[in-house]
Every structure is written in C-alpha cells, then in structure tokens.
Amino acid sequence: MERYNFKLIEEKWQKKWDKNKTFLSKIDKSKKKFYCLEMFPYPSGKIHMGHVRNYTIGDVLARFKILNNFNVLHPMGWDSFGMPAENAARQNNLDPKSWTEKNISVMKSQLKKLGLSIDWDREISTCSPEYYKHQQEFFLELYDKGLVYRKENYVNWDPVDQTVLANEQVIDGKGWRSGAAVERKKLNQWFFNITKFSNELLDNLKNLSEWPNKVKIMQQNWIGKSFGCEVSFKINSKKDVKQINCYTTRPDTLFGMSFLALSVDHPVAKFYEKDPEFIKFKEECSRTGTTEESIAVAEKMGFKTDLEAVNPLDEKIKVPVYFANFVLMDYGLGAVFGCPAHDQRDLDFAKKYNLKITPVVKPDNTENFEIKDIAYTGEGKLFNSNFLNNLKVPYESINKTIDYLEQKKIGKRKTNFRLKDWGISRQRYWGCPIPIAYDENNNPIKIPKELLPVELPEIKKFNSVGNPLEEMEDWKKVKINGKTCKRETDTLDTFVDSSWYFLRFCSAKNLEYGYDRKDANYWMPVDQYIGGVEHAILHLLYSRFFMHALSYQNKDFNIKEPFKGLFTQGMVCHETYKDRNNNWVSPDEITTINGRKFLKDDSKHEIKVGPSESMSKSKRNTIDPEEIIKNFGADAVRFFILSDSPPEKDVQWSDEGMVSSYKFIQKLWILNQKILDKIKINQSNTVDNELKKITSQFIQNVEINIKNFSYNKIIANFHEVYSKLNKIIEKKIGKVDWITNYKDILIAMSPVIPHFSSECLELLKIEEKISWPAIDKKILIEENINIVIQINGKTRGIISTNKDISEEQLLSEIDKISKIKNYYKNKIIKKKIFIPKKLINIVVT
C-alpha cells in the first residue's frame, strides 16, 4: 500500500490555497462575519512551538467558521518594532531594519508551512512607515483631544549604556546588560491619559461575557478602584506647612491614629532637602527599592520630622509626622495616617519607634481586647472612639465618619484608582517616532499632517551607547511654519503599535487613514482573540483604552471594546536537561539508552533530567517547529499540539506523542485507501444506519468540542471514529453510503488536518464547495439504552433495554436477574428512585 506522502500533498494544497487566494476576505453583507485573530508575533528569528499552538487553535476555529458559512477575517502581521532588534543590531553590527525584515521572511515561510487559513493580502508590519504613519496621526488626534500630555517622570537609567531600562531589565538594582547600578532619573516624557477612562474600563469588564474570568479579575485588580476619603490634617510647625491631606479607606479608625507618614517624594520634603540626615534616609529608601521581593520584606523605616499633626476628630490629640519608606508618592496623596492597631505596616512601624497603639475596633462579643503582634483588620464595633463608639465596622462606621468629616469640611468622600497614566516615551531608536518637535523655547509643536510619516532615519552602524536618534543632527532639524524646530527623539512604546493593529487589519491597505469607517464597522470587534495569558493586563488594557480614546468625541467611530471573545492558551513545556557541569543541554543533543539519557557523544556521564518548564532559549529546552514539520508534516504537528491537554492549560511536548500523531495520519491514509477500494467494488445504493450513526455522532462531538475549545477531546473523537470505521469496513456497505458519510467525516476533520482532508476529498471526487455537514439528530437517539441498577446507591448491574421502559417493567426485568436479586431479596424495600433512561436505585434495609 502506498504511504501518505505529506511532503508532496501538503505543498500541493498550500500552493493551491495561495494561488486561488482561498482565504481572501471581502465585505459580504449577505453573510455573518467572523473576525478570528491570534496575537501577532514578534519577528524574533524563527517561529516557536508557542506560535504553532496559538495559530493552530485559531486556524481550527477559523476553518470551522468558514465551513459554517461565516464570512471569516483571519489575518496575520508582525509586531516588528522593539528592543530585540536593537540588541541584535548592537551585537552583530547590523541595522535593526534588515535584521527584522530577514526574520519576517523566514517566519512567514514557516507559518505558511503550517497550512494556516490566513488572508496574507492583509499582512501588516508595525515597523513599516505605511503602518506607523497612521499611528502618528492617531497620536496627534489624541493630543488634540487632550488625551496626550507631557510631564516629568522618573525612569530607570543605566549610566553605562546611557539608556533607559524597563522595570524587567533591572535585576537586583543593576542593569541587565551592563551590570551598572541603576539610577533614578527624571525625564520629560509623554503620557496617554488612560486614567480618564478608569471607570469605563472597569465597568465594561462586566459586559465581556466571552472573556475568561481570570483575566477580568486581573484587569479589575490592576485598575484597583477603592472607596474612601481625603482627610485634612492641621500641622503645627515653624515651617511653612499648614496642612497635609491623606487618602484613606478607613477614616473610622482615626481615633486610633498615632502618627502621620509621608513619602520621601512628598512636597513637604523640600523643607528637608538640605538636612544631611534626611538625604541619608532618602538614599537608604531608594537602595531597597528595586526587586519586588525585597520591597515586601523590607523593614519599615522612618525619619522623624519636627512637624506635629492634629487629629481632626479631636484637636487635643497631636501626633508626630514621619517620612516613611513604605509610603508611595504615586498612590493616593503620598501621605497616610498611621493606625497601628488595625494595619500591619503601621503596627510594625509603631513598634519600632515606640508609638502609641490604641485599638478602636473590637470584634463583637469580646471583652478584653488587646493588640499584640498582629493588627486587627476584621469586622466588629468601634470603641475608644468618643462619639463614634458602637458603630458597626466596616460599613456603618466608615460612612458615618465620612459624613461627619464632610459636614465639618475637613474631609471629602473620594474614589481612588491604582491605575496610572501610560508612559509612552521610550529613549530608543527602533520604534515609531513621536510626531512632535520643539521650538526654541522647548514648547512642543505638532508635526503637520502633510509631513507625516516622520520616518525613522536609516542607520548603518549601531553604537553601543545611547539613542542614535540623539546624534542625528540633520534628522533632528525640521522646519514648521518657517521656524526651525528640533524633533522629539523618543519613540513610542511598542505597546502602542499593538493597541490598534486589529483595526488596521480591517482595511490594511487604506492610504488615507488608519482604518476605513465602513470596513471597521463591518469587521470589528474581533469575535475571537487568541493568545498568551501573559498579555492579560497590559496589551489588552491598552488596546481597550485605545479604542475608547479613538471613540472619544468621535461620531464616526464608536467601537469601545475591541475583543468580544478572548481565549488564553497555555504554554508548551519540555523537560530540561543539564550535563555534569551544570550546563543546559538541548533535547537534540541527547540520546536515550535503556531509559537513561546521555549526550550523543558521551555515553559515560548520565544527563540530569530537570522538571518540565515552558520552552525557552535560555534553558535550551526548545523544539524547532520547522524540523518537526519537515519530519512529520504540518497536519501531524497540528494534530499533536492539540492532543494532550486542554488548550488553556500548559501542554507537555512529547516525542512519543508526536510520533504517534504521525502514525495516526498514516493509519487514516490506509483506511482512506481501503474505503476507496470498497467504493469501487460495491456499487449498490443501500442505506447503512450504523455508518450513518458513527458519522453523525462524530460530527456532533467535534462540533460541540470546537465550540467549547475542548480541542483535546476532538483528537479523542478522531481516534474513536477511526477505530469504528476500521471495524465497519468489512461490512457490506454500498458506494453511495460510503461516499455521503465518509465525505462528511473528512469535512469534519478538515479544520484540524486540512491538507489530508482536502486530498482525500479530492480522491473521493468531491468537487462542490464543501460546508459543515448537517446531522440527522434522530439517528442519534438510541432505541436500546443501558440502565444502571443500584442497590443502596451502589451499582450492581446494567440492563440493556428499551429507552421508554416503565418502572414496573424494569423492576420485573430486574427480578429475573438472580445476581442482582440476591442483593435485595429477604429485605424490606424502603424506597425506589427511578430516573427514566438512566437508572433505578432500590433502597433496602
């Protein structure tokens, strides 16, 4: 028998799809649209297994929707600005542009080998001027709407590389590359006013019913809405400080206040700038500032000022004012009042500096209430609180206290958000230039529309330090309205690029504007967005913001939520290996002898097998998809990557599993030939219900499982239908029967293994346009079913009987089975529970 030559067949179909533009998408109002989008890749060099998984999941859905007569948009592009290109350019002495373009062409050819149903005519690349021109226009539009502004902000500055570092590039307070101690530096930077939409971004989450709950909760926490109030504290001091305001969610604990704590960046700090003790303290604070863990563990430290704060509820109570390392300037007002009895941080602080600890909340039904090492944050009643005593904590106490403070005009109810505005300036070359210039007084001036795009100047050589744009004197000069101005040399955060690319896909070639109104209104929102959960917060939130911002004050565009459905897939994992020198070893350097692993050229020293972790270059536990496709074919890889785990969970790469998927395709091929042979022999026009039932069952299962993203179960369905067909093949079934049923089975398989299915359908001489088969539900209703017989809730037998059997009939049937009867004869039957079509439970004593 002829083997399945996946190489020839897959190439044949890929060429055909390409040539016929099978997946070209056009507006067609006679059909329902379906916008299927997977997160576009960063062109890092080669595709990895994560891409294979991501794009296979999306492709199965897109092809399924096409078969169901949806008008499907399934595009692909490149998130092609970003630091890796700069790093590669620095290392290898080349320019980021050609590096990126080379990677794109490699990865594009790799993706094509997967046989994806992509409309490549809509391909976009964020680093091309045709794309970022529109982004610059959007920037200016948002600028006009007041959603973009400039302010001074701290950055992580690497003094050796002369560059700004992202938070994740700061490791233990040092630059990841240079190893130099990172400094805090104040720079003028551009911001998007994302906080303007805090409430909307939060409230709209509840309408996103097709998003994973997990992601919605993460965004909710990130936005971090809290209810509380601002309280003013009178200050007694010789300095010019009359009042300090604090934000609090617990104003009801004011009578327990024993100090006031300020951030070292608080405006009041200016009075202490020359105090050497304060300078020392501030330095100490910034030293323990970088890693998250160290922050959490860091000891509470304070610097006592000569200020004195007055308790607004009782002017007789006066407390000291400290600067404290645990108060942050960028949350609330950079100042808090300390209530040690009911806040752990305050308690730690109070103990260290011997401050008063006055409990004001006690749990109900307690007599002797004392605070020792743990602050009490639970419910209860107020005490030690003068006129607030006996109020119920928290709801009543908080609200009544705020009412009182508002009445006395010493406090104001206030909602606070954790969300901060989005800093979009990056001191980098390989990004979208910010379309702004500065006049001689350093006032920002918009680059006029007709001068867009502001193109990135080409560079030949990449210096190892700084942003090369800074040194391009010719490029920096620009004439606006006859005035010579200096260009902004910062570029945009690459998250901006990916905040609207899905919109661009709707009208990828539109020259006038970033999108075409007609196209956007037809295709948007994305019906199903698929990607890694690592983008659950920033990318998704920024994209949501961007659509809100474009919709803002815009009567032509009102798409606020870009992603109707969201699916977050898990990672692809593989065992990790280390040699005897503790160096990571790649799986393809290893050979297995008698279940033990060795280096291929060293059979003496065994390889240490580590835990399975997500594939990464640094741990060298990656599997190259191109190699795998070359050896097993795209269909087999697609089949395997879906097989082992539910798509939302991590999947374990397994060589055995891959081989078994490959073999399964081969088995399907053999079966296909057997069926073709049968069709030739038996020309009769019979109707075979068994075959029809197998077919209908399969189609129904696959359909349900695709809809629920239970792709691993589809693979099980494939195995089941194979083994059933393989059994029924010897039965005398006529030509027509085989063709009608087998055709439907092949169509139902095609979303997962499109090349194989297409080839078999062609061999079956199916020429009409295929669509998802309708099933005859009646045939799936079984006349005879299994009914479970339980005695006292334990299964004692199963009866195969007519589905409509009555309780009495069933009981008399059971009575005939002595094995079961033994369990209840000579006993009193207390109760019988009969669930038609399912079971009967006889309760005896």
- What sections of 166-309 are H helices per DSSP? 198-203, 213-223, 276-287, 292-297
150 touches RNA by CB under 7 A = no
Smallest distance, Å, CB 704 to RNA?
7
Among 328, 465, 728, 763, contact with RNA (rule: CB under 7 A): 328
3-state secondary structure of 91: helix
- In the region spanning residues 465 to 484, those forming contacts with RNA, defined by CB under 7 A, are none
325 touches RNA by CB under 7 A = yes
The rounded distance, in Å, linking the Cα atoms of 215 and 535 is 9
Residue nearer to RNA on the CB measure, 97 or 674:
674
Residue nearer to RNA on the CB measure, 111 or 714:
714
Query: What tokens were used for 793?
Result: 């809730």
Single out the segment in contact with RNA by CB under 7 A; choices: 138-146, 237-245, 324-332, 356-364.
324-332
786 touches RNA by CB under 7 A = yes
Sort strands 422-423 and 302-310 into parallel, antiparallel or unpaired.
unpaired
844 touches RNA by CB under 7 A = no
Among 152, 240, 273, 292, contact with RNA (rule: CB under 7 A): 292
332 touches RNA by CB under 7 A = yes
Integer CA distances (angstroms), 679 to 670, 718, 736, 742, in order: 14, 22, 8, 11
How many positions of this chain bind RNA (CB under 7 A)? 82
CB 335 within 8 A of CB 262: yes
288 touches RNA by CB under 7 A = yes
168 touches RNA by CB under 7 A = no
**Residue labelled with tokens 């000579």:** 826
Query: What tokens were used for 738?
Result: 């085989």
DSSP state of 339: -
Smallest distance, Å, CB 314 to RNA?
19
Residue 3 CB coordination number (10 Å): 8
Rounded to the nearest angstrom, the gap between the alpha carbon of residue 358 and the centroid of all alpha carbons in its chain is 45
- In the region spanning residues 522 to 541, those forming contacts with RNA, defined by CB under 7 A, are 533-534, 537
The rounded distance, in Å, linking the Cα atoms of 641 and 53 is 6
Residue nearer to RNA on the CB measure, 441 or 618:
618
Buried b (16+ CB within 10 A) or exposed e, 273-293: eeeeebeebbeebeeeebeee
Nearest CA-CA partner of 137 in 422, 515, 468: 515
Sort strands 528-532 and 436-438 into parallel, antiparallel or unpaired.
unpaired
Residue nearer to RNA on the CB measure, 95 or 346:
346
CB 143 within 8 A of CB 446: yes
Smallest distance, Å, CB 748 to RNA?
16
Smallest distance, Å, CB 660 to RNA?
4
Among 265, 720, 762, 813, contact with RNA (rule: CB under 7 A): 720
166 touches RNA by CB under 7 A = no
Integer CA distances (angstroms), 259 to 267, 307, 383, 543, in order: 18, 11, 19, 42
Among 63, 300, 560, 638, contact with RNA (rule: CB under 7 A): 300
The strands making up 794-802's β-sheet, listed across from edge to edge, are 794-802, 784-791, 839-844, 829-835
Among 128, 162, 226, 801, contact with RNA (rule: CB under 7 A): 226
568 touches RNA by CB under 7 A = no
Residue nearer to RNA on the CB measure, 48 or 74:
48
- In the region spanning residues 190 to 219, those forming contacts with RNA, defined by CB under 7 A, are 213-214, 217-218
- In the region spanning residues 343 to 402, those forming contacts with RNA, defined by CB under 7 A, are 343-345
Residue nearer to RNA on the CB measure, 66 or 229:
229
3-state secondary structure of 74: coil
Residue nearer to RNA on the CB measure, 178 or 344:
344
The pattern of x and - marking residues 234 through 273 that bind RNA according to CB under 7 A reads ------------xxxxx------------x----------
The rounded distance, in Å, linking the Cα atoms of 621 and 234 is 62
- In the region spanning residues 676 to 705, those forming contacts with RNA, defined by CB under 7 A, are 704
Query: What tokens were used for 213?
Result: 């709950």
Sort strands 528-532 and 566-569 into parallel, antiparallel or unpaired.
parallel
- In the region spanning residues 416 to 455, those forming contacts with RNA, defined by CB under 7 A, are 416, 418
Residue nearer to RNA on the CB measure, 141 or 613:
613
Single out the segment in contact with RNA by CB under 7 A; choices: 55-63, 173-181, 483-491, 656-664.
656-664
- In the region spanning residues 584 to 643, those forming contacts with RNA, defined by CB under 7 A, are 643
